[in-house]
């Protein structure tokens, strides 16, 4: 199924239903469908052919969604850009992908124009605020036929071993599969009002959550920027019933001064993803919003959702990512590809129609991900499967710490720290150590109203863990820097620590 056809089928079925809400603005499915056609026609009028790259750099907006489906219908490959990218990153990504057009909101357009003169491939930067003028050039243009679902739909960017972002290219078909997986595993329905809080430039936003709402014919409420208090008011105003958010967002809602259970009563279905959900947060949701169904979602830009912790799963398994999602072939293996025994750590590998095509113009990284050439994708995530079949994440393979010749998995120490009543957030990583090879560093955030010292943290770890797993260095912070998807950027933190910052 082509992404553009997903919208068309819904528009044919329920044309007058509100498709998107953003602030005071609304658009129904018939109008969204027509705008996507005009956008595709305008691209063709600008000599954009199937396979050409077109970039979008914007906060969540109705225009972003029009551009998404319009590019899909024209056969253009969407290059989703993070507004926070620095000029050098934009220059590298646009230059590598040879994007011919960039669509940007006003704030992003100024940044994009500053690098455009250095990019010979780029035809122009078009402000989404003037999208009506662009759409007018697409009236009456014939759209391409014969597009294949296996052709690339777009790419979102993830970190690389070189430090440069890698573009994970996904096809129309693989994200159609991911939408169905999301609808089933997270129980999203046509009658839902779906909150789209995660950025559309992230795979969770434009490639999984928003398309799922459109496929089902739900109404999607777009939040241009994250604010927990604004979310509570928006939920009450529009009756948001289901939402996908990162753990940090959920923490801010539950622990904020303006938490209001009455205003959130309509929110009956909460999904978490993008980063590891602390076990305590699962129990906190159950305590403060007992009427809400909660699922924990694990996946990657390269895969879409691949594991889900479900409402009926035992609460004592709340520190796991549940079990493989429907249709996901998953194994935990050693470095040679041999399946790990129950309880033994290994790398998660997956196989199925949801997998990316590869990293854009990066054969080396693509080869590492599909290293055996047998259809299995190596996620880089370490995990162990318990006797009941539940999967517990241990960390990234590149984050594993070797101290005194012993493998240490940061996630084990993080889980121990999360169990401390005074710790609101934490992360653990390794740094070079002359005696042991590597030493553990723990960054922790104290809960509001609590007190915490470095000595407290070390004492807690000594009580709960073997001595070699106790952090050598502890820092108490006000907050731990994270990506918009809620993931801790450990390499950057490690570099800052070593630099004395």
Q: What is the pLDDT of residues 92-116, one digit of tens each?
A: 889 899 999 999 998 898 888 888 8
3-class secondary structure per residue, 339-403: ECCCCCCEEEEEECCCCCCEECCCHHHHHHHCCCCCCCEEEEEEEEECCCCCEEEEEEHHHCEEE
Phi, psi values for residue 401, rounded to 5°:
-110, 135
Which residue from 41, 52, 50, 37 is spatially nearest to 4, judged by alpha carbons? Answer: 37
Contacts of 373 by beta carbon, 8 Å cutoff, 6+ apart: none
188 inside domain: no
pLDDT reported for residue 248: 82
1 inside domain: no
pLDDT category, 164, cuts 50, 70, 90? low
| Euclidean distance between CA atoms 29 and 27, whole angstroms | 7
pLDDT category, 468, cuts 50, 70, 90? confident
Structure tokens at 46: 């600008």
Strands 124-127 and 101-104 turn out to be parallel
| Euclidean distance between CA atoms 391 and 84, whole angstroms | 33
Residue % of the chain over a pLDDT of 70 = 98
Q: Answer whether 343's CB lies under 8 Å from 386's CB.
A: yes
| Euclidean distance between CA atoms 395 and 381, whole angstroms | 6
Domain that holds residue 463: 400-498
In this model, does residue 483 exceed pLDDT 80? no
Look at the chain and report how many structural domains it folds into.
Answer: 1
Quick check: pTM over 0.95? Answer: no
| Euclidean distance between CA atoms 53 and 97, whole angstroms | 7
Q: How many residues does the chain have?
A: 501
334 inside domain: no
89 inside domain: no
456 inside domain: yes
367 inside domain: no
199 inside domain: no
425: domain CATH number is 3.30.300.30
184 inside domain: no
């Amino acid at each position: 199924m082509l992404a553009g056809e997903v919208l068309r089928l819904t528009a044919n079925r329920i044309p007058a239903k509100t498709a998107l809400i953003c602030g005071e603005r609304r658009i129904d499915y018939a109008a969204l469908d027509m705008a996507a056609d005009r956008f595709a026609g305008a691209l063709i009028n600008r000599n954009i052919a199937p396979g050409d790259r077109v970039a979008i750099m914007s906060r969540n907006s109705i225009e972003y969604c029009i551009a998404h489906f319009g590019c899909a219908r024209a056969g253009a490959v969407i290059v989703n850009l993070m507004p926070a990218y620095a000029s050098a990153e934009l220059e590298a990504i646009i230059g590598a992908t040879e994007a011919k057009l960039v669509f940007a909101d006003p704030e992003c357009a100024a940044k994009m124009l500053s690098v455009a003169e250095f990019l010979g491939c780029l035809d122009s930067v078009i402000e989404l605020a003037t999208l009506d003028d662009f759409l007018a050039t697409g009236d009456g243009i014939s759209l391409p036929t014969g597009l294949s679902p296996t052709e690339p739909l777009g790419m979102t960017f993830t970190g690389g071993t070189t430090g440069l972002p890698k573009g994970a290219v996904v096809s129309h078909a693989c994200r159609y599969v991911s939408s169905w997986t999301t609808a089933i595993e997270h129980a999203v329905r046509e009658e839902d009002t779906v909150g789209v809080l995660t950025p559309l430039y992230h795979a969770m936003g434009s490639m999984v959550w928003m398309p799922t709402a459109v496929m089902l014919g739900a109404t999607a409420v777009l939040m241009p920027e994250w604010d927990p208090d604004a979310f509570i008011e928006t939920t009450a105003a529009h009756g948001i019933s289901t939402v996908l958010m990162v753990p940090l967002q959920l923490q801010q809602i539950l622990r904020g001064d303006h938490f209001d259970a009455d205003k959130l009563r309509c929110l009956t279905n909460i999904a978490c993803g993008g980063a590891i959900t602390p076990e305590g947060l699962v129990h906190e949701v159950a305590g403060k919003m007992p009427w809400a169904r909660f699922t924990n979602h694990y996946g990657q830009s390269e895969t879409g959702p691949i594991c889900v912790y479900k409402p009926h799963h035992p609460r004592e398994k709340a520190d796991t990512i549940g079990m493989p999602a429907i249709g996901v072939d998953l194994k935990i293996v050693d470095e040679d590809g041999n399946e790990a025994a129950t309880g033994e750590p290994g790398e998660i590998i997956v196989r199925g129609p949801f997998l990316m095509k590869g990293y854009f113009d990066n054969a080396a990284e693509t080869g590492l991900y599909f290293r055996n050439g047998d259809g299995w994708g190596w996620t880089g995530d370490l995990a162990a499967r318990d006797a009941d079949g539940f999967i517990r994440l241990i960390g990234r393979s590149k984050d594993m710490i070797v101290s005194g010749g012993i493998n240490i998995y940061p996630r084990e120490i993080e889980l121990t720290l999360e169990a401390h009543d005074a710790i609101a957030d934490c992360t653990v990583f390794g740094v070079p150590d002359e005696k042991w090879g590597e030493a553990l560093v723990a960054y922790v955030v104290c809960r509001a109203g609590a007190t915490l010292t470095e000595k407290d943290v070390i004492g807690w770890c000594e009580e709960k863990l073997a001595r070699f797993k106790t952090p050598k260095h502890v820092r108490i912070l006000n907050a731990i820097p994270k990506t918009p998807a809620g993931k801790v950027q450990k390499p950057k933190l490690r570099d800052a620590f070593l630099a004395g910052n």
